């Protein structure tokens, strides 16, 4: 499982609704659930919370309490997404400062993901904004283009680097070869989907036996980097 996080999203309550947990996992977000405002304060990660998803439909008082502590202190958390039921919309009045966006509950997973992605982008934590992306002993510094595995430098060609960066910043998600071609190679690349296979093999070879299985082949679909807690169904 993921052991080194870029930086986690805070999620309230603990445990979160199963659909929310699954949506976050499948979208590749790293997150940590908190039970109340005190826990949220006590467990701030070293790099700070990357954002938050706060469910207000079950326990509105607790939810707004968490939002409040996130806004306080030296480093207020950017990118707070509030989940509210339709009946609660009126309660948002005068509380606009406590969240950055909201989403109606029950939510559509794609909408939740899109809103979160957008908040992350606005907060400068999107793939392009992160300076260091890390996953399970693997580290990528997007400022210096350098990659390392267990602290040992990993020498990559440019396209290998771009592919690995894409994987590390999108862990747990399954991508088809065509998606990888368009998102990593990013243009009408002549090589076709086989180019992806070739580069995945090269990356696995360079990662070495111990880490080669970080990039998993998902039969007749494509590839996934790292694990999801939802098995291979992701």
Partner 1 sequence: MDRHADHVEYVLRTVEERGVRFVRLWFTDVVGAMKSFSITPAELENALEEGMSFDGSAIEGYTRVQEADMLAVPDPNTFELLPWRGDDAPVARMFCDVHHFDGTAFDGDPRNVLKRNLAAARERGYRFFVAPEMEYFYFRSEREAEPLDNAGFFDLTTQDMATELRKQTILTLEAMGIPVEYSFHENGPSQHEIDLRYTDALSMADNVMTFRLVVKEVARANGVHATFMPKPISGAFGSGMHSHLSLFEGEANAFHDPGDEFGLSKTGKAFIAGLLRHAREITAVTNQWVNSYKRLVAGYEAPVYVCWARNNRSALVRVPLPKRGNTDAARVEYRAPDPACNPYLAFSLMLAAGLRGIDEGYELPPEATNNIFEMTSAQRAEAGIATLPTSLDEAIEVMAESSLVRDALGEHVFEYFLRNKRREWDDYRIQVTPWELSRFLGSL
Instruction: State the residues that interact with partner 1 by CB under 8 A.
Output: 144-146, 153, 155-161, 187, 190-195, 198, 201-202, 204-206, 208
Q: Give the separation between CA 185 and CA 51, rounded to whole angstroms.
A: 29
Nearest approach, Cβ of residue 225 and partner 1 (Å):
18
When the beta carbons of 105 and 195 are compared against partner 1, the nearer one is 195
> DSSP secondary-structure letter at 226?
S
When the beta carbons of 55 and 149 are compared against partner 1, the nearer one is 149
Q: Give the separation between CA 86 and CA 19, rounded to whole angstroms.
A: 18
Alpha helix (H) ranges present in 86-212?
A: 109-122, 158-169, 177-180, 193-207, 209-212
Q: Give the separation between CA 93 and CA 132, rounded to whole angstroms.
A: 38
| Residues in CB range of 89: below 8 A, 6 or more apart | none
When the beta carbons of 59 and 197 are compared against partner 1, the nearer one is 197
Residues paired with 101 in a beta bridge: 81
Residues 25, 158: contact at Cβ < 8 Å?
no
Angle at 138 between CA 1 and CA 220, to 5 degrees: 60
When the beta carbons of 153 and 233 are compared against partner 1, the nearer one is 153
- Range 203-214 burial, b when 16+ CB lie within 10 A, else e: bbebbeeebeeb
Nearest approach, Cβ of residue 192 and partner 1 (Å):
6
When the beta carbons of 59 and 162 are compared against partner 1, the nearer one is 162
Residues 25, 234: contact at Cβ < 8 Å?
yes
Tokens, residue 106: 């029950």
When the beta carbons of 81 and 181 are compared against partner 1, the nearer one is 181
Residues 131, 143: contact at Cβ < 8 Å?
yes
């Amino acid at each position: 499982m993921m052991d080194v996080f870029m930086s986690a999203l805070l999620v309230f309550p603990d445990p979160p609704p199963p659909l929310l947990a699954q949506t976050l996992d499948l979208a590749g977000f790293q997150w940590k659930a908190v039970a109340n405002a005190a826990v949220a304060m006590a467990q701030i990660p070293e790099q700070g919370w990357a954002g938050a998803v706060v469910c207000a439909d079950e326990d509105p008082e607790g939810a707004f309490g968490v939002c409040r502590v996130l806004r306080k202190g030296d480093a207020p958390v950017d990118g707070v997404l509030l989940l509210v039921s339709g009946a609660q919309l009126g309660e948002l009045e005068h509380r606009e400062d406590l969240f950055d966006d909201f989403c109606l509950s029950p939510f559509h997973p794609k909408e939740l993901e899109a809103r979160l992605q957008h908040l992350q982008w606005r907060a400068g934590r999107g793939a392009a904004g992160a300076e260091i992306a890390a996953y399970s002993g693997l580290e990528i510094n997007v400022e210096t283009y350098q990659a390392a595995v267990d602290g040992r430098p990993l020498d990559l060609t440019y396209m290998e680097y771009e592919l690995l960066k894409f994987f590390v910043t999108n862990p747990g998600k399954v991508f088809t070869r065509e998606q990888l071609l368009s998102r990593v190679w990013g243009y009408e690349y002549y090589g076709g989907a086989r180019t992806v296979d070739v580069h995945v093999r090269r990356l696995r070879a360079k990662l070495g036996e111990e880490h080669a299985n970080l990039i998993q082949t998902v039969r007749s679909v494509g590839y996934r980097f790292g694990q999801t807690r939802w098995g291979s169904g992701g």
